[in-house]
A and B are shown apart, each in its own frame.
Chain A
Amino acid sequence: MTGYIVRRVLSMVLMLLLLTLVVFLLFSVLPTDPARLTCGKACTPEVVAANRHNLGLDLPVWEQYWVYLKGIFVGRTFGSGTATYSCDAPCLGYSFKRGEQVTVLIKEGFPATFWLAIGAFILWITSGVSLGIYSALRRGKWQDKLVMGVSLVGYSLPSFFIGLVLLFFVILKWQLLPYPDYVSPFENPLQFFQTMLLPWIVLAFLYAAFYMRLTRNQMLDTLGEDYIRTARAKGLRERIVIRRHGLRAGLTPIVTAAGLDLAGLLGGAIITERIYSLPGIGSLAVNSVVDADLPLTVGITLVTATFIIVANLIVDLLYAVIDPRVRLV
């Protein structure tokens, strides 16, 4: 067990290193001139040259990467002479467009994204899994068909269409909710809930649709196993058979999927955040792309991908705890 964990953690660290390298190369080699992107159209060659030097873009690529990597662990300083900008320890770069450290910007965007992800997660897990189980137990009946139909529509509809339609009907036409305006839940809980309700529903619907199917198929697989027949044959009541023998084995793969999906969402839900103007990481990411704020884009990409890689490890380890049949060697 310990050996397995050590090996997994090591390979994860390797993955993360590789990730920084790939992201770095993607964004520093592909653009014809990154320094040119740092200022707009009214840009003199002198300013471009100065920015190039300040950002360290005049160094060879490998050296740039090394400086970048070092910055993540010990921080770094941009510029020289009087015009220096310090960037603290987990330094993912400095956004000259916004005059702020990338890490700070991401931290500012995180709460909105976090609340969005958590709320949607709770909604979709409860509704998706319970409907999936219900559907499996009613296999072939009309209830099953109804749930599967809803699920099909749910994962077919583009999320931005559901988001826009709900925005139109609930907020504009029927005026059941005020126009979304994000505040912290600790500041004004009512306004927070009114703002988040639709985004939660939109995201949750999308994911729940997928989880209904997944849960249903898992449950049907499990209920077809021999040990379920044995449990029934030894005279256990149906409820106990389902609950104690069916659910435990049937739902373990759901944990894997749920962990990865939650991690993905913590990196920002671009479309939902855009439609409901939530100031989260997703909105920040789109804005960074629109303003060609390269350091910020790179930073967000790295953070988001790191979430997923770390979640991969956690989920794998968790799996062994939940399902005693899994032996980690």
Chain B
Amino acid sequence: MATAVDTEPSVPTESAVPEEIQGRSLSAIAWGRFRRDKVGMWALGILIFLLLCALLAPVITNVMSVDPYSLNPDALDKENGGVPLGCGLPSSGFFCGISREHPFGVEPGTGRDLFARMLYGLRISLLIAFSATTVTVLLGTLFGIVSGYVGGRTDNLIGRFMDLILAFPQLLIILALSGVLTQRLEAMGVPEGNPARITYLILVLSIFGWPYLARIVRGQVLSIREREFVEASVAMGSGTRRILFTEILPNLWAPIMIYATLTLPTYIATEAALSFLGVGLLPPTPSFGATLADSVTYMSIIPSYLLIPGTLLAILVVTFNLVGDSVRDALDPRAGRV
């Protein structure tokens, strides 16, 4: 049992490790592996930097003396329909509108600073993605664990239910229900406007996301359920709840962790796509998707308005995915590189 710690990293054992062997927890082993992964460490560094930027957005914008909401008519070219200064001419450069005061340029029409807006957009994007991932993990784990352990009719019912959810055209349903469900949420007491819209996004993203995790968890539970320590617990007369959450759950954290880190970036991208299509937050609130949707109109005049937010979003999603890949390699070395 003791050596199992090294040969089967995805299933931590709870038994005591004999004295002469240096005991290392699963997370210590995984971290050791992660640290040797150069790409993963770089991505983690960039990610931490981005997270700090989001966290410190108010401080950063204050220091730079920019603000995501205030209008800057001085930065706009009034004779050319309110495009950023220097962008109206056919000969204007690729990165017109960018200045020392506004490193990412300004929004056409309003002159709001794009740098500040992107920082705040990052915050909201991360807030939605993190919350949705948390809800997804809770739902997926709960249903997966129950489905796998209880089996029989319950398992079948949950399975059919998941099939049904997965058959739905996700994007279309989210779009179609946004109006009515946001109203319902507001009627239920969620503050009107953006809070209700954010709640809606978190809810629908999780509702369409949990079945994938539940399937993974169920598969794992099916094999864990047959192991000796579960049998022992049953023999000692533990209740189902104790077996599920104290005996089985701790063995599931590796697959859950892997799933969560790989789901987060897809939620960021989906949220951006939804705002792009017009379901996200209300206009003055900064958001990647909404900015990109707006940039389509100005694409030929202000390329940087499309390229800067888009690249930023891409970097965010790619680094999250890189970290997710490395986490998977560290926790389950056999999965990625066979």
Contacts and interface: CB of A to CB of B under 8 A. Distances in A.
B64 interface: no
Contact of B273 (A22, A217, A271, A285): A271
B173 A168 contact: no
B108 to A, nearest CB: 16
A159 B187 CA distance: 34
B172 A161 contact: no
Interface stretch (A48-56, A97-105, A300-308, A321-329): A300-308
Given A30-B177, A161-B313, A309-B167, A152 B318 contact: yes
For B183, B276, B336, the residue with the greatest tally of chain A CB atoms inside 10 Å of its CB is B276
User: What bracket does the count of chain A residues touching chain B fall in?
Assistant: 35 or more
Contacts of B176: 27, 285, 288-289, 297, 301
User: What bracket does the count of chain B residues touching chain A fall in?
Assistant: 35 or more
Contact of B276 (A156, A160, A221): A160
B292 A301 contact: no
Nearest to B270: A158
B303 A168 contact: yes
Contacts of A160: 272-273, 276, 292
A15 interface: yes
B172 A165 contact: no
Contact of A156 (B265, B292, B306): B265
Interface string A148-180: 000011011111110011011000110000000
A82 to B, nearest CB: 33
Given A30-B181, A168-B299, A274-B277, A220 B175 contact: no
A198 B109 CA distance: 30
Nearest to A164: B306
A152 B321 CA distance: 8
A271 B299 contact: no
Nearest to B307: A165
B169 A305 contact: yes
Nearest to A222: B338
B8 to A, nearest CB: 18
B294 to A, nearest CB: 12
A264 B181 CA distance: 25
For B169, B306, B313, the residue with the greatest tally of chain A CB atoms inside 10 Å of its CB is B169
For A157, A158, A167, A305, the residue with the greatest tally of chain B CB atoms inside 10 Å of its CB is A158
A15 B164 contact: yes
10 contacts: A152-B322, A153-B318, A156-B318, A159-B273, A165-B310, A271-B171, A271-B273, A289-B178, A300-B169, A301-B176
Interface of A: 15, 18-19, 22, 26-27, 30-32, 139-140, 152-153, 155-161, 164-165, 167-168, 172-173, 217, 220-221, 224, 264, 267-268, 270-271, 274-275, 285-286, 288-290, 292, 297, 300-301, 304-305, 308-309, 312
Given A26-B173, A30-B177, A217-B336, 9 more contacts: A15-B163, A18-B164, A152-B325, A161-B292, A217-B338, A275-B296, A300-B172, A301-B172, A304-B172
